Amino acid sequence: MSLAALVRRNKQYDFWFSVISIMCVLFSLLALTTLLLDLALEGIPRLSLNFLISFPSRFADKAGILSAWVGTFWVMFITAFISIPLGILSGLYLEEYAPKNKLTQFIEINISNLSAVPSIIFGLMALGIFVHSLHLGQSLLTAGLTLSLLILPIIIVATREAVRAIPTSIREASYALGATQWQTVKHHILPYSFGGIATGVIIALSRAIGETAPLITVGALTFIAFLPHSFMDPFTVLPIQLFNWISRPQAEFHVNAAGAGVILLTLTLLMNAVAIIIRYRVRKKITW
Amino acid sequence: MVTTFKAQVQNLHFYYGTVEALKNISISIQEKKVTAMIGPSGCGKTTLLRCFNRMHDLYPGNRYEGEITLYPEGKNILDPKVDPIELRMRIGMVFQKPNPFPKSIYENVAYGLRVRGITQKSIIGEKVEESLRYAALWDEVKDRLYHLASNLSGGQQQRLCIARTLAIDPEIILFDEPTSALDPTATQKIEELMETLKEKYTIITVTHNMQQAARVSDYTAFFYLGELIEFDKTENIFTNPKVKKTEEYITGRFG
Ligand SMILES: Nc1ncnc2c1ncn2[C@@H]1O[C@H](COP(=O)(O)OP(=O)(O)OP(=O)(O)O)[C@@H](O)[C@H]1O
Ligand SMILES: [Mg+2]
């Protein structure tokens, strides 16, 4: 075979490969847009101020998501309050302070594994520990703790990766100027890994905000017609309200579900957008 | 002119775990002179340099044996009782690859002062300018002190790293192949800089470039496989080496 013919044949593979790739992309995009459009078309018309400030109701057109989004807000607040400091400090300790030995290696592997555990397992664990052993009840606090456990591994792994990305030469430059370990961490490690950590935290929280299974397991209510007064009060959250409405037979409730879905989706997308912006900003500023 | 010792290495052995990277090194460093360390790759130049500021303490498994006495007080700085943090405040280091912090030019130079707890703006500002001037970088950066250091060229970054070290008024400056990542013009600038720096500082520099060693240094130490083969005034090493191995190396027959 001549060289030209060989190149022509090789290029044909190029061509067919691009065709297949483009088709895959189109298919995924199409499926996704259809889903989103379907949700948006059904849900957006349902959105109104009343929908946001009404409690759930037996009547679909009077029902709203007030207790759901307030619940989501508080559960996320507790989750963030617990998981962010705990996750960042654990990641920092494991990467920057802990001696590199068999034990830390073992811990490292287990943390990575934890992020792959199905969320319902976390729910079962939380039911055993927080509800039954610690008697925290089926409360906002239990929900926040449960979701904290769920996303801790994500935050720890993100922190470790962000810290690990900082070159040794930068650490050594700091130490060579007489900095202590804490000064090095405070002035260099944390600021330079901030982008990666913040991105990881937001991604983790946007995962938590949509979680349903573990919260059902620890006893989320599906019908709450009051706002919580303390973290020990019973709770519901957006995805659970959504799940409740979608499981009703009446079509009007399905419209409510779509409305709640649009809100939940918007929250998630907003969080991801913030993550992208932070990452972009930091990447522009920090180069080695 | 009478020269005085700034540091004296005595029977120094250094181990990376079980690997003995330095074998029984003894060498005297003269104050306000440039001492060059040469030798083929892997002979232990960097390892020795990093003993002076106890950089090896950062990693587990490293072990020193022997002494490095720092003058004027005559204390052994390898003594575990000596705090490496304190030591590094007195001994500056410039690395092979420029490693500015991803901060502004100003903040890079100011960092050593911040570590020392100096917060007064006027003092920091003065010291930053003085250091940048001394490192022959001031004119090139004075209009963009608050720009990111990463926007500078490689040679400028390296001079910034030198300025960063000068700002803490070190007694000794350690250079580990400071010009190996730079073009000839930038290299020349750094060499000239060393010439002026030795009026105030004691300098130890590692280099792979024989001409550079000959040009900038007063004393030269030749290492081979973790041992000090020959140490003498630079002119003697380059014109009249006593050991055959040294001669072979500087004439380029191996290494
Ligand atoms: N972290 C380390 N762990 C184990 N061995 C090391 C380590 N760093 C260096 N060595 C070994 O110690 C010896 C001396 O290394 P060193 O880096 O001091 O050489 P060098 O003279 O600076 O070489 P080069 O000119 O290539 O920079 C080499 O054999 C090297 O393989
Ligand atoms: Mg080296």
- Between CA B242 and CA A145 the distance in angstroms is 74
- Between CA B86 and CA B115 the distance in angstroms is 11
Compute the nearest-CA separation of B224 from chain A (Å).
26
Q: Is residue B196 within 8 Å of residue B181, measured between CB atoms? A: no
For chain B, 255 residues long, give each residue's pLDDT as a single digit of tens. Answer: 567 899 999 999 999 999 999 999 999 999 999 999 999 999 999 999 999 999 999 999 999 999 999 999 999 999 999 999 999 999 999 999 999 999 999 999 999 999 999 999 999 999 999 999 999 999 999 999 999 999 999 999 999 999 999 999 999 999 999 998 888 988 998 999 999 999 999 999 999 999 999 999 999 999 999 999 999 999 999 999 999 999 999 988 776
Name the nearest CA neighbour of A107 among A120, A97, A118.
Answer: A97
Low-confidence spans in chain A with pLDDT less than 70 = none
- Tell me: the pLDDT tens digits for A71-109? 999 999 999 999 999 999 999 999 999 988 899 899 989
Ligand 1 atom closest to B59 (CA): 1
- Tell me: the pLDDT tens digits for A110-153? 998 988 899 999 999 999 999 999 999 999 999 999 999 999 99
Instruction: Check A173 against B101: CB less than 8 A apart.
Output: yes
- HEC string of A92-138 equals HHHHHHCCCCHHHHHHHHHHHHHCCCCHHHHHHHHHHHHHHHCCCCC
- HEC string of B22-90 equals EEEEEEEEECCCEEEEECCCCCCHHHHHHHHCCHHHHCCCEEEEEEEEECCCCEECCCCCCCHHHHHHH
Residue B231 one-letter amino acid: F
Q: What pLDDT score does B163 carry?
A: 96
Q: How many residues in chain A?
A: 288
**Adjacency order of strands within the sheet including B91-94:** B91-94, B172-176, B202-206, B34-38, B219-224, B227-233
Q: Give counts: helices (H), strands (E), chain B.
A: 10, 10
Q: What pLDDT score does B182 carry?
A: 85
Residues near ion ligand 2 (CB < 5 Å) are B 46
Say yes or no: CB of residue B62 within 6 Å of ligand 1. Answer: no
Q: Which of B85, B113, B131, B174 is most worth mutating to test chain A (most A CB atoms within 10 A of its CB)?
A: B85
Complex confidence, ipTM:
0.94
Any idea where the domains of chain A sit in the sequence? 3-46, 49-285
CATH class of the domain whose range is A49-285 = mainly alpha
Cβ of residue B164 closer than 8 Å to a chain A Cβ: yes
For residue A98, what is the nearest residue in chain B, using CA coordinates? Answer: B60
Say yes or no: CB of residue B42 within 6 Å of ligand 1. Answer: yes
Say yes or no: CB of residue B21 within 6 Å of ligand 1. Answer: yes
- Between CA B209 and CA B239 the distance in angstroms is 16
Q: Which of B58, B87, B91, B153 is most worth mutating to test chain A (most A CB atoms within 10 A of its CB)?
A: B58
